[in-house]
Structure 1
Amino acid sequence: MLNTEARQQLQKVLPLDMVATKSWLEAQGLNLHFLDNAVRNQTLIPLAAGVYSRQEARLSWKGIVASLQRMSDAPIHVGGLTALELEGLGHYLSKGSKPRVQLYSDAALPKWLDRIKIPAQIEWHGTRRLWPETLMQDDKYLRQDTWQASLPPLRYSCPEKAILELLAAMPKTISFEHADQLMQGLHNLSPRKLDALLKACCSIKAKRLFLWLAGRHQHAWLKHLKPDCYELGTGKRLIAKGGRLEPTWQITVPKEM
């Protein structure tokens, strides 16, 4: 039999539809003997060695990522195209049977994430060359998805941050054409947030691509930005192989664009 007080503590720290590691559960005050008993009587279901969910949990990528965010000492957020999709700005959903989920952190991918079955394709992006540590810890550039009432929300980038994250990975994970379509729909970005993020962003490529695409669509917020205040580096940047040189921002782009 499981101790009633410990069982109630387990239900509190590990809500249904979330996951937790053994080490994290121990850190919440649940002893190893109790956890072993909970596994034996199937109160806890092992997803992999040292990773558990509660019996009858309905696992989703949002629940797994929200769990990861809750357990991690380092900031982790959903960003890039996934964040734009959460805002209804994705233009079209990711193709394939599993959604692609972009996660951003300056920490390494937790090993347990590779050991469990996730109903999504997780794409891990390091942020040390993209965002300074202070910005990664700043919640004003994050939004929350209440994926289930009463459970910890999923944290994801605001659109202004997400588009820069997406452009930093071009053209490896997204095409010029798709990025152009996404930018076309970004009518309502905050110029104040954009200004702060362009000043903070460490990726020269992302900033130059952003300013080039913004110029193509001439959104109302563009006139409030101050390119002279953003560190844009020097020299030409080869981004599209076999493309043409865009003279203003000194980047190679596809000839047809």
Structure 2
Amino acid sequence: MLNTDARQRLKTLLPSGLVATKAWLQQQGLDLHFIDNAVKSRTLRMLVPGVYVCDETPLSWQGIVSSLQRMQPAFITVGGITALNLEGLAHYQIKNQIVPVSLYSAGSPPAWLNKITACANFEWRGTRRLWPDSIIENAAYLRENQWRQSLPPLHYSGPERAIIELLADVPKNISFEHVDQIMQGLFTLSPRKLEPLLLANCSIKSKRLFLWLAERHNHAWLKYLKPEQYELGSGKRVIAHSGRLDTTWNITVPKDM
């Protein structure tokens, strides 16, 4: 029989729609004996060894990520194309039921992440080559999505940060044409937020490509930026193979662009 106080504690810790690991539940004060008995009594349902939910409610990717964000020691944020999609800025249509979700963190993904649901494919991106620690958890460049009432919100990159993250994936994971289309619609970006992000960003490729696209679309906010102060490196960067060299930013871009 399960202890009443511990059962209530479990219900508070693990509401419907979220997941929890055995290690995290123990860190919150539930002992191993109680957890094992909760599994035997079907109060807890095991998804994979060591990962649980409290009921049969289908999991959403938002619930999984929200759970991750409260359990993982390293800060995790939804970023890149997924963050832009949350803002309605990605021009991105899901062609099947499996949703790609871009997650950014300085830590490593848990081994169970892509084993517990068929609703999403979580694509993990390391942040060490993108952002210093001063940026990663800075609330000024993050937004919240209250995906379900009474449950923890999702933290995701604001559009200024998300577009810079996304450009690191060109052309391997996203095409020039797609990011060009996205950048065309980013006419309301805040130069006040862009400036410190571009100063801090560690990816020379992302910064050069961002400036090329901003110039290409002649955005009004571009005149407030100070590219001469950004660390843009030296020499040419081949981004588009068999492309043409843009001599202003020293990157190769598709010939038809």
The TM-score range, normalised by the shorter chain, is over 0.9
Superposed CA RMSD? 0.9
> Which residue pairs with 1:146 in the alignment?
146
Partners of 1:158 and 1:31 in 2: how far apart? Answer: 39
Matches within 5 A, 1:75-114: 75-114=75-114
Matches within 5 A, 1:60-71: 60-71=60-71
Q: Answer yes or no: is the 8 Å Cα contact 1:18–1:57 preserved in 2.
A: no
Moved over 3 A (4+): none
Q: Answer yes or no: is the 8 Å Cα contact 1:109–1:124 preserved in 2.
A: yes
Task: Judge which range, 93-102 or 131-140, deviates more.
Answer: 93-102
**Unaligned 5+ residue runs, structure 2?**
none
State the one-letter code of the partner of 1:154.
L
Identity %: 62
Inter-CA distance 136–223: structure 2 relative to 1 (3 Å threshold): same
> Which residue pairs with 1:195 in the alignment?
195
Inter-CA distance 252–200: structure 2 relative to 1 (3 Å threshold): same
Deviation at 1:107, TM superposition (A): 0.6
1:138-168 deviation digits (Å, cap 9, x = unpaired): 1211100101111100110000000000001
Q: What TM-score comes out, normalization by structure 1 length?
A: 0.98
Q: Secondary structure at the match of 2:112?
A: helix
State the one-letter code of the partner of 1:182.
I
Deviation at 1:118, TM superposition (A): 4.1
Matches within 5 A, 1:30-49: 30-49=30-49
Deviation at 1:117, TM superposition (A): 2.0
State the one-letter code of the partner of 1:177.
E
Q: Answer yes or no: is the 8 Å Cα contact 2:114–2:121 preserved in 1.
A: no
Partners of 1:184 and 1:5 in 2: how far apart? Answer: 55
Q: What TM-score comes out, normalization by structure 2 length?
A: 0.98
Partners of 1:190 and 1:47 in 2: how far apart? Answer: 42
Q: Answer yes or no: is the 8 Å Cα contact 1:19–1:53 preserved in 2.
A: yes
Deviation at 1:95, TM superposition (A): 3.2
> Which residue pairs with 2:56 in the alignment?
56
Partners of 2:242 and 2:253 in 1: how far apart? Answer: 8
Partners of 1:15 and 1:134 in 2: how far apart? Answer: 32
State the one-letter code of the partner of 2:157.
S
State the one-letter code of the partner of 1:183.
M
Number of matched pairs: 257
Deviation at 1:134, TM superposition (A): 1.6
Partners of 1:231 and 1:133 in 2: how far apart? Answer: 17
